[in-house]
Amino acid sequence: MINREDDSQTSIIERVTDYKPPRTLESWLIGRPLSTADAGHQTIGKAVGLAVFASDALSSTAYATQEILVILAAAGTLAFGYVFPISIAIVILLVIVSISYEQIIHAYPDGGGAYIVARDNLGEMAALIAASSLLTDYILTVSVSVSSGVAQIVSAYPNIYNYRVHMAIVAVLFIMVINLRGVKEAGAAIAIPSFFFIIIMFLTVGVGLVRSLTGSLGVVPNPPAFEPSKLLISITPFLILHAFSSGTAALTGIEAISNGITAFKEPRSKNAGITLIWMAFILASLFLGISFLAGRVNAVPSEVETVISQLSRTIFNGQGFLYYAVIIATTIILILAANTAFAGFPRLSALMAKDGFLPRQLTYRGSRLVYSRGIMTLALIACVLVVIFQASVTRLIPLYAIGVFMSFTLSQAGMALRWWKSGRLQASGKEIVERGSTLRFDRAWKFKMIANGFGSICTAIVMMVFAVTKFHDGAYIVLILIPVMVWVFWLIHLHYDYLAKKLSLDNFGVTPPHTIRHRVIMPVSGVHQGTLAALRYARRLSDDVTAVHIVVEPADAEKVRQKWETWGEGVRMVMLDSPYRLFAEPLLGYIADIARQRQPGETITIVVPEFVSNNRLSGALHTNTADLLRSQLKNQHGIVITNVPYHVHKDDEE
């Protein structure tokens, strides 16, 4: 029986690898590998954060007003007078949602947004619904924004219409590469075009308001043809709600900052909160200004010419330099709006993978300290959607925004419940440490609870109106897709949960015997029953056993250290630090060092614990280290690689 109180049984050896990744084509494309120690230098400030996380929300000002006009057109031009009042209502909703996410940023400083809020307050099922809604919205953000940007180019050059899908895929891959280079470099790359869009749009709105006040604005010269529907309907509350729900596309992207708090410099919550306020102010100002001016110049919804184009050529008296500056800035920001999804999707998927709802591989940070596998996954799925829907904004847009309002609803409902729990702490004065934050008594808990509860009701109404009015246009796909995604998440979680229980060291205290001596090296990624089974085999081979753990994440390494000190049976462990988060190269280097020092005729055996799954689907959720080492070492003399498989059978669960 192992004595858990006696730490003298084990031996931990600290060692740092001096291996540095060589220059390759990949490093030329996405930049030189960064050490884990460089993570603090890759965070971003408020200005760059605005460019990285707000491009989606700001780009919506380019089409939100037009979406309202398209719906109101069913009642004729008289209904266009409702554009500005509807826009005011949307801005009020924007303020409510922004206040909610401002609170989320400070309450949950490690990020996660709606997923973490719902998980800690409403339960895992609500969290999975919120997460699937957000992941769907991020994927559609990339598809819609890139397709919309390509549509702007195609409208200017109709001859390249047949190449729109190819252009959209190239754009997605280009943004993917930018984000693979790191958050800091991605922010630097899109900061200039993003701020150019903000400046040129404020200039356009400002000049338009001045001309409107002085009476020199006029109406759209040579407006595009507008043919009212032959079956004009009356202006009804349902029509207004329909137009309102379409205009709420302006709110997409608001949640991105709360998901990416960890990307900001310290103090993270403060910087992220200020960036959110900046984004909400800019978005509200531009949206209201565009909607107001669209009504003054009598802009009409048209497939031929956008409202932004009509507005800018009216304000600047034709298609001059400033007009083309507006069009170019709008096109660029529409394409760059995809960057918000590339910033949010990998972080959210990494959080879910850490909780066991997505493959663990998505928690891996690549050579540039970004979640590279999540970035590439998003790009792949977005490209598939672009191909399926032929880069058509009209076919993609009905799928858009339902998911984000579902996440709005759940996050605000979760925050309302959080404030209620906070109020219950007044008498005790205690703190409750939850998985994502620490809950304390808040004196303003009643006001915050009412505000978040009201906001949750508002966004729920918008979501339901969206689902009903857009159902036949394709919204049913999202309403089916989200439950399917939740089901898949649960299957993945059940697999990981089942495996963890089967490999748990709780109530496991029998010391495996060892008799045979060999020179053995055993890579250890974690300490569990499978590891101990491999250790038992290794000790039967030899008394000279060395466990090697590659230190990629210090926090995970500390857990391995503590467990090994308890369960390692005195076997020495080498903690091989890998500042570039590489696994194979440092391990192979260590084995090569041992091989050079071995005695004549001595054989080195690499004992590798290997999980063997019952089926291929669950097997894909695990990394096969044994095959990796075998492919690298099979041609070297005097080195034997031994797999020690550990199986988990359902009939053993009891």
What pLDDT band is residue 352 in, cutting at 50, 70 and 90? very high
pLDDT, average across residues 584-600? 85
Tens digits of per-residue pLDDT, 127-146?
Answer: 999 999 889 988 988 988 88
Tens digits of per-residue pLDDT, 248-277?
Answer: 878 888 888 888 888 898 888 999 999 999
Tens digits of per-residue pLDDT, 398-411?
Answer: 677 778 888 889 99
The confidence score (pLDDT) of residue 207 equals 94
pLDDT, average across residues 160-177? 90
pLDDT, average across residues 444-457? 88
Tens digits of per-residue pLDDT, 616-639?
Answer: 777 777 767 667 777 777 777 778
Of 219-233, 460-474, 545-559, which range is least confident?
Answer: 219-233
Name the residue among 118, 135, 57, 115 with its Cα closest to residue 90.
57
Model-level pTM? 0.82
The confidence score (pLDDT) of residue 236 equals 81
Angle at 602 between CA 598 and CA 603, to 5 degrees: 105
What pLDDT band is residue 510 in, cutting at 50, 70 and 90? low
pLDDT top residue among 47 and 20: 47
What pLDDT band is residue 9 in, cutting at 50, 70 and 90? low
pLDDT, average across residues 92-108? 89
Q: What is the mean pLDDT of the chain?
A: 84
- Percent of the chain scoring above 90 in pLDDT: 29
Of 116-120, 381-385, 505-509, which range is least confident?
Answer: 505-509
Backbone torsion region of residue 267, taken as left when φ is above 0, otherwise alpha when ψ lies between -120 and 50, otherwise beta: beta
Q: Domains in the chain and their CATH numbers? A: 7-18+506-652 (3.40.50), 45-494 (1.20.1740.10)
